[in-house]
Structure 1
Amino acid sequence: MTEINISDSEKSALKAVDRRELNNLIDQAVREEQLGTLSRLPLSSCGTYVATKLTYFGKALKALSEAKSAKNIENKRDSAVRAGRDLSFAFSSMKCRMETEEQEGERFYVDENILWPSHFSKNLVVRVSFRWRRTADDAWTFGSITFRHDVQPRPVYTLPVPKRKPSAWKQAEGQQNELGRTWEHFMHSALYSVRDFFREGGDGSKIPEAFQAIADRHTGELNNYSLKFWRQKYLAFANHNTVGQHIF
Structure 2
Amino acid sequence: MELGKAKTAQKRAETEDGVRRAGSDLAHAVQQMKHRLETEEKEGQLFYVDDQIMQPYSFSERLTVRVSYRWRRVNEDDWVAGNITFFHEVDSRPDYTLPTTKRKPSAAKLEQDRQDKLSRAWTHLMGLALHSVKEYFRAGGDGNTIPLTFQATTDPYSRGLNNYSAQFWREQS
What is the TM-score of this pair, normalised by structure 1?
0.64
Does the 8 A contact of 1:226 with 1:235 survive in 2?
A: no
Question: Which residue is equivalent to 1:186?
Answer: 125
SS at match of 2:172: helix
Report the alpha carbon displacement of residue 68 of structure 1 after superposing the two structures with TM.
Answer: 4.7
Match status 1:168 vs 2:107: yes
SS at match of 2:66: strand
- Looking at both structures, which has the greater relative contact order when contacts are Cα pairs under 8 Å and sequence separation is at least 6? 2
Q: What's the C-alpha RMSD, in Å, of the aligned pairs?
A: 1.8
What is the TM-score of this pair, normalised by structure 2?
0.90
AA partner of residue 150 (structure 2): F
Percentage identity across aligned positions? Answer: 51
SS at match of 2:169: helix
Distance 1:163 1:68, change over 3 A: farther
Report the alpha carbon displacement of residue 65 of structure 1 after superposing the two structures with TM.
Answer: 4.8
Question: Which residue is equivalent to 2:41?
Answer: 102
Match status 1:153 vs 2:92: yes
AA partner of residue 146 (structure 1): T
Report the alpha carbon displacement of residue 70 of structure 1 after superposing the two structures with TM.
Answer: 4.1
Distance 1:163 1:79, change over 3 A: same
Report the alpha carbon displacement of residue 72 of structure 1 after superposing the two structures with TM.
Answer: 3.6
AA partner of residue 86 (structure 1): D
Distance 1:180 1:65, change over 3 A: farther
- The count of residues paired between Structure 1 and Structure 2 equals 173
Does the 8 A contact of 1:225 with 1:235 survive in 2?
A: no
Q: Measure the CA separation in 2 of the matches of 1:95 and 1:196.
A: 20
Report the alpha carbon displacement of residue 63 of structure 1 after superposing the two structures with TM.
Answer: 4.3
Please list every run of 5 or more consecutive structure 2 residues that lacks an aligned counterpart in the other structure: none
After TM superposition, the structure 1 = structure 2 runs for residues 82-121 of structure 1, keeping only pairs within 5 Å, are: 82-121=21-60
Find 2:172's aligned residue among 216, 230, 235.
Answer: 235
Distance 1:73 1:227, change over 3 A: same
Distance 1:88 1:166, change over 3 A: same
Q: Measure the CA separation in 1 of the matches of 2:58 and 2:130.
A: 21
Q: Measure the CA separation in 2 of the matches of 1:210 and 1:65.
A: 63
Whose strand fraction is larger, Structure 1's or Structure 2's?
2
Question: Which residue is equivalent to 2:153?
Answer: 214
Whose helix fraction is larger, Structure 1's or Structure 2's?
1
